[in-house]
Structures are given as structure tokens and as C-alpha cells.
A and B are shown apart, each in its own frame.
Chain A
Amino acid sequence: MTDAERQLVDLYLDGCLPETEHESLFRRLENDAEALSYLSARSQLHVDLRRSFKRRKLQQMAVAGASTSITQISLDRGRKPWFSWRPLAMAAAVMMMGFFWWSWPIADDPIAVESLQLAPDLTQVAVVTQLVDAVWNDVEFQTNDRVPIGSFSLKAGLARLQFLSGATVVIEGPAELELTSDLGAKVQSGLVTANVPPVAEGFTLTAAGWRAVDRGTIFGIDARSPERTEVHVIEGKVDLYHGADAAVSKTLTTGGTARLTSSTLVEQPAASADFPREADVIDRAARASQSQFEGWKLHSNGLAEDPGLVLYLDFEDIDAERGVIRNRASGAARHSDATLIGGEWTQGRWPGKNAVAFHRVGDLIRTSLRKRLDAATFIVSLRIEPESPLTQTILLTPDVGPGQIYWLIAGRETPSRGQGTVFIKTGDQPKDLRFTSKHPFKRNALGQWHTLAVVHDPANKRVRHYLNGRLIKENPLDDAHPLKLRQLVIGNWGFTSEPRNFTGRMDELAVFERALSLEEIAKF
């Protein structure tokens, strides 16, 4: 193959080869083994490079928190806006029809771009249900995270995992486990208790070359010391198999204990090993959650007195029957209580905390503020459901003219398409000002609670985006128009063919008439 012919293959794989050239290339590939081998190697290189860079990016984000890479900044330079204004007349007409006027497309290609972590149905085998003081090595999991097949290391604390088969394990750190399927795991080190309901009978923990197969039990593996691995049956029955043997070597029943080496099994007198118990972990996680809720209440009560607060919906002071959510800001304007339209009351970040669940197009909260703000900070705590539309409206003002805002979450996974949390402000028509965090939600961030904030800071000519108390992006701001918040519409943007309704839960929303600092935002 000549160099030019090899370049043709690269052009094709980069999507740059004109279609008119395809036929001759394909004919060549069909008849030339060397050319086909080159295509094969090159195609593998492409997917390996993509996988490697996506993985590096994830690692980088895990290490540095939410950060913006040099490449994203450079890509941002000179890029044409993704959005374009529709004529004002059309906006007015749309409003008259009862729609909101924020009707421009969010991106040129709204197709969901999922990560290259393919086949989640195959590889995600467990869910993290409770954590107590958990500290992880490398990969970190939070409550409700899905855990894929593979190894992880819990440095300290307790974690309870529920396998999709129904079995649960309680792990006490330090421990290393490798999940092998929804019916089993290898215990490399640590203390692990398995609780296996009848539906998951056959659940297997492997340690020291032995397989402990459940026959309807609670049992534990003690692999804290590399020299000593023990299996304890706390309740029920466990079959022990050596290596790949098909025959049971030993069956242990309630109270039975065996010490395992790579080649031997020695029964031990019943010992009271201090295995972590499921009820204990659930109870401790609940108490930790209650304590966080109490801490939040203290912060919330103090916050309501902040003179810079113009809207504070903590979703606790409500009239559920009438759908009224009180504006708890001490300096609240009269009649600025919010009204819930549609939606339903549900649990927030902690048991006992109220939240509103938004399910359908048309579920929304509306409030009348009648404020003009120069500097402003918007903060919201929300949880997006995994099956939600790609574009999620947080809030918007339903009027026209300069100083209107639209705050939304656009897209998933890929930081290169103007995706992430987006704060849009109208300037002088027809120019809109768009501030994008370039930090889209990852698939595994869905179903988790997050606190998002955006700060409009004209004095310092900046718009800043925050996620969970961390600054994720700072955009330059060259527009002096104050924000005109006559009304705020929260969680929806009207009835259109393209769903942009918020689908998830919201349990706190605050608007300040000043630019909050990172320290203040981190307290939410």
C-alpha cells in the first residue's frame, strides 16, 4: 500500500472521505488483504484512542474535581454560538399562544451521546445502598451508584451493596473486592458479610481459591490477614468448593467456621468474628443522614435571615393542599410565595425533608419576584432521574427583552458540544449571551442529589458555575443589563415537541441579590 492509499483509509475513518470515493476504497479493501488488515488495525487504533482519552478524562476529573481542560478552552475560542435568536415577533406570538419564548434549539445535534462504557446492562451488577464514613481508593462510589463488574478498594468505613440478583453484601474497609457478576464476587481482602434472600440462592463469594456458595444464608468472609482466610456461617447453610471443582468439599451450617488456605480447609470452633451486620449499617447510615438533615436545618434557618436573599424556597414551609411554597427570605417581597402547578410532594435529600417531584411536561413552580438585580446568585438542589430528557430546564423568566434569563442543563457526557449547565441572558436583541459550564452530567451522576449554583457578577465581569460547592467554570461577562426577574418559572418551559421539562426532584432553591463567594456556596 502506498502512503496515499493509507491516508485514504484515515480520511474515511475520520469521516472526511467524499462518498464518491467510498466505492473504490471498499473494492480495494475487498480485494487487497493488506489494505483490509490496515483498515482493521487503524479502526482498532481509533476506538482504542477514544477509549483511552475518555478514560483519562474521567480519571482527570476524579482527581481534580470538575475542571476544564485546555482542549475545551481552546475549542471554545472562535466557536460560533450554538443558539440563535428567533425574531422577537415570533417570540411574542409564541407567548400569546401560552408557550415560553425560549424556543431555540439547544444544540445542533441533540442526539444523546452516551459514554463508551458500553453495555451497562451487562456490566453493572450492584447498587450502593448505604455508606458509613466510606473512603475509597481510586474509584469512588456514592449512595445509589451502580457498581460495574470489576475491582474496587474500600480504604475505610462501611459499604452496603445490593446485587441485582437480590443478595446484599456489607463490606468493612480496608477491603478489596472484585464483582464478577450479579451473583458473586471475589474477596481479595477485608471483612465481608453476605445476606442472601431465597431469590438469590447460589450467590458466591470467592476467597483464597475457595468458592463459598450460599444455600439460603447470612455468611461472612474474613480475609483481613493475607495468611488467614475464614468463612463463617452466621445463619443457614453454605457449600464450599475448592478451585474449579464441581463437587462440594464441605457444607457448613449455622455457626460453622472454616479456615481456608489455597489447598486446605480446616473447620474451626464457632468464633464470634466481628462481621459487619446489615441492620447496623442501615441504622448508622440513617443516623448519619438524620444528622446531615439537622445540620441543613440550622444552615437553612440562618440563611432565611440573610438580607441579600430575595427568594428562598426550602420546601418545608408549605401548604401542600393549595400548592403554596412559602418564600422564606426575610426580606421577601409581598406575594412572592411560590405556587406549585402539577408535580407532587416527595422525599428530598434526607428522610423527612420535603421535595417536589417533577414528572410531566407542565409540572412547574411559578413565583412573582418583581426584582431587578445587578449581581445575582441562583442555587438549587436537585436530583435528575436517569431516564430524563437530555435538556433539563431549571428556571427561566417568561418575559422578553434584555435582562431575561434561562438556566438549564443541556446534554450528557460529552463536554465538547456546548453542554453542561447553561446560563443564558438576553442582551440587546438579537444577541443572546450564553455561559456554559462545559461540564455535562455523566450518566452515573443521574439519580444523585446535586447542588448547582450560578453567579451573575457584573462588577467583576464574570459568570461562574458551581457544582456541589466547587467552581467548575468561569465565563467572561460583557453585558451590564440588570437581570429582570418579574416572574420565575421553575422546572419547565412549556409544551413543545422537544421535551425540556425538568424530570426529577428539587428540594431547595435560593436567589440572592449579590454574588456569593465560593465559601458561601459550599455551605449549601
Chain B
Amino acid sequence: MTYNDEMNARERLAKHWLEAEPSVQAYVFAAVSRFQDAEDVVQQVALTVARRFDEYDETRSFSAWALWLAKSHIVDHYRKKGRERLLFSDALMDKFAEVLVQQQAVRAARSEALEHCLDKLPEKSRQILAMRYEDDAPIERVAEAIESTAGAVRVTLYRIRNLLAECMNSEVTRITQ
């Protein structure tokens, strides 16, 4: 491999990874359902992706390949945690990866739309989201902070996310038309 080739490969890897990373995060997060655990797993996936990049077939979807590698890391994660069985079945993991790859096309537009929609939220809703996502506070702690109950916070978060999802859908439609 010449220097030029190597440089091109590194650029391609970085570009592919930046595009695929959010899908890998979503995949791992849903499978392990804890942000901190998900971060550890995704870091490992990133390293594997870098190490094995020369095996990647450029005619195929990079995200699909990265998700395939992520799957084995999720299995490892559960094994290390001492789980007797994988929480997501093998078939579910594969189907989930397919859905993520299908949704990849509008991924960037959705991220952009989210920023726009967050700015439209009432301040209080943004504060609750900030506690949950900026500070990684569990629901119970958010409830404690706003002097509410965990149940009420769960419902509030559900509604805020619904509002955001609706707003993002119409924004993506607007952007892509």
C-alpha cells in the first residue's frame, strides 16, 4: 500500500465512521439500554472497525458492516456481564440492524431537524431533557429534582419525545422536498 493509498484509506474510514457512528450507537444503546455501557461497547466497535477496515468490502453498506461487528461486541458485553443469554435474540439483532441501515438515508436530516425542534420546545421541557441527557440522571433523580414522581416524569418524557418526533418528521419532509 502506498502512502497515498494509506492516506485515502484513513480518510475513507473516518468519513464512513462519522456517518455510521450514530446508527451503531443507537443499535448498541437499544441492546444494552444503558448509556455508559453503550459507550464502552461503541468504543470497542470503533477500534475493531479501524483495525479491520481493510476487510471492508466497499461495494456493501459500511453501516451494515459496522453493525455486524457491533453485534459480536454486544454479545461479548453480555458474556462479560455474566448474562446467561443474550437479551436481544440473534434474529432480532439482525432485523434491527437492517432497519437501522434502511433508516440511514434520512439520518443526517433527522439530526439537523432535532436541533431545530429542540429550540421550539418550552424551556421546562428542555430542562427535563437536559437532566436526563446532559447529566445522565436516572428518571428517579429527575423526579427528585423537579419535585415530582418517577411515573409522572416517565410520561412527561414520553410526551416530549413524541412532540419532538412529530416536529422532526415534518421538518425532514420540509428539508427533503
Q: Is A57's beta carbon under 8 Å from chain B?
A: yes
CB <8 Å contact, B133 and A54: yes
Distance between Cα atoms of A15 and B129 in the complex (Å): 16
Residue in contact with A48 in the complex, picked from B91, B111, B145, CB distance below 8 Å: B111
- Complex CA distance for A123 and B14, rounded to whole angstroms: 7
User: DSSP majority for the A interface?
Assistant: helix
Q: A30-B95, A414-B135 are in contact. Are A39 and B17 (CB under 8 A)?
A: no
A495 within 8 A of B: no
Interface string of A110-124 (1 = CB under 8 A from B): 010110101101110
Judge whether B91 and A75 touch: CB under 8 Å: no
Residues of B within 8 A of A460 (CB): none
Within the complex, the shortest CB–CB distance from B156 to chain A, in Å, comes to 11
Within the complex, the shortest CB–CB distance from A114 to chain B, in Å, comes to: 6
Does A43 contact B30, Cβ atoms closer than 8 Å? Answer: yes
Is B137 an interface residue, CB under 8 A from the partner? yes
CA distance A52 to B138 in the complex (A): 18
Q: In the complex, what residue of chain A is closest to B51 when comparing beta carbons?
A: A121
A53 located at the interface, meaning its Cβ lies under 8 Å from any Cβ of chain B in the complex? yes
Contact A36–B39 (Cβ < 8 Å)? no
Chain A residues, Cβ within 8 Å of B134: 50, 53-54, 56-57, 69, 71, 416
Give the Cβ gap from B25 to chain A, nearest Cβ, in Å. 4
The reply on B120 being an interface residue by CB < 8 A is: no
- Bound Cα distance from A114 to B46, whole angstroms: 14
Chain B contact-residue range equals 35 or more
**Distance between Cα atoms of A57 and B133 in the complex (Å):** 10
Given the contacts A26-B87, A39-B30, A181 and B138 also touching, CB distance less than 8 Å: no
B59 in the interface (beta carbon within 8 A): no
Cβ contact within 8 Å between B139 and A16: yes
Contact A15 B34 (CB under 8 A): yes
Chain B residue numbers with a CB within 8 Å of A275 are none
Total interface residues in chain A, CB < 8 Å: 66
Complex Cα–Cα for A52 and B26 (A): 14
- Say yes or no: B3 contacts A183, CB within 8 Å: yes
Contact with A along B17-32 (1 / 0, CB 8 A): 1100111011101100
B61 an interface residue at 8 Å Cβ cutoff? no
Which residue of the partner chain A has the closest CB to B160? A49
Among residues of A, the one whose C-beta sits closest to the C-beta of B164 is A45
Question: Are B35 and A50 touching (Cβ within 8 A)?
Answer: yes
A292 in contact (CB, < 8 A): no
Q: Give the nearest-CB partner of B32 in chain A.
A: A15
Task: Give every chain A residue within 8 A of B42 (Cβ-Cβ).
Answer: 118-119
Closest residue of A by beta carbon distance from B113: A48
**B158 within 8 Å of A (CB atoms):** yes
Residues of A contacting B130 in the complex (Cβ-Cβ under 8 angstroms): 53, 56-57, 69, 71
Bound CA span A183–B25, Å: 27
| Interface-located stretch among A6-14, A261-269, A391-399 | A6-14
The answer to the question of A155 belonging to the interface, with a C-beta cut-off of 8 Å to chain B, is: no
Q: Counting CB contacts under 8 A, is B4 at the interface? A: yes
Are A79 and B141 in contact, CB atoms less than 8 angstroms apart? Answer: yes
**Contact A48:B14 (CB < 8 A) given known A36-B99, A37-B99:** no
Q: Is A333 an interface residue (CB 8 A)?
A: no
| B146 interface residue per 8 A CB criterion | yes
| B158 and A202 form a contact (CB under 8 A) | no
Interface string of B130-167 (1 = CB under 8 A from A): 11111111110100111000100011011001001100
Q: Is there contact, CB below 8 Å, between A47 and B3?
A: no
Contacts of A183 in B (CB 8 A): 3, 6-7, 10
Question: How near does chain A come to B61, taking the closest CB pair, in angstroms?
Answer: 15
Q: Which residues of A contact B150 (CB under 8 A)?
A: 16
Q: Is the CB of A119 within 8 A of B43?
A: yes
Q: Are B10 and A182 interface neighbours, CB within 8 A?
A: yes
Give which listed residue, A51, A119, A180, contacts B47 with CB less than 8 A.
Answer: A119
A44 CB within 8 Å of chain B? yes
Is there an interface contact between B136 and A113, defined as CB atoms closer than 8 Å?
Answer: yes
Contact, CB under 8 Å: B14 / A149: yes
How near does chain B come to A50, taking the closest CB pair, in angstroms?
4
Other-chain contact of B136, A22, A180, A414 (Cβ < 8 Å): A414
Contact of A122 among B2, B14, B26 (CB under 8 A): B14
A89 contacts chain B at the CB level, 8 A cutoff:
no
Which A-B residue pairs are the 6 nearest by beta carbons? A202-B3, A119-B46, A416-B135, A53-B134, A183-B7, A43-B30
A-B contact pairs, 26 of them (CB 8 A): A7-B158, A14-B139, A15-B138, A16-B139, A29-B96, A36-B95, A36-B99, A40-B99, A44-B100, A45-B114, A47-B29, A47-B38, A50-B134, A52-B115, A53-B129, A53-B130, A71-B134, A74-B127, A74-B146, A75-B135, A75-B141, A113-B136, A116-B39, A119-B43, A122-B49, A202-B6
Given A47-B26, A114-B39, 7 other A-B residues pairs in contact with their CB atoms under 8 A: A37-B99, A44-B100, A46-B133, A57-B134, A75-B145, A77-B144, A180-B14
Residues on B facing A (Cβ under 8 Å): 2-4, 6-7, 10-11, 13-14, 17-18, 21-23, 25-27, 29-30, 33-36, 38-39, 42-43, 46-47, 49-50, 87-89, 91-92, 95-96, 99-100, 103, 107, 110-111, 114-115, 118, 127, 129-139, 141, 144-146, 150, 154-155, 157-158, 161, 164-165, 168
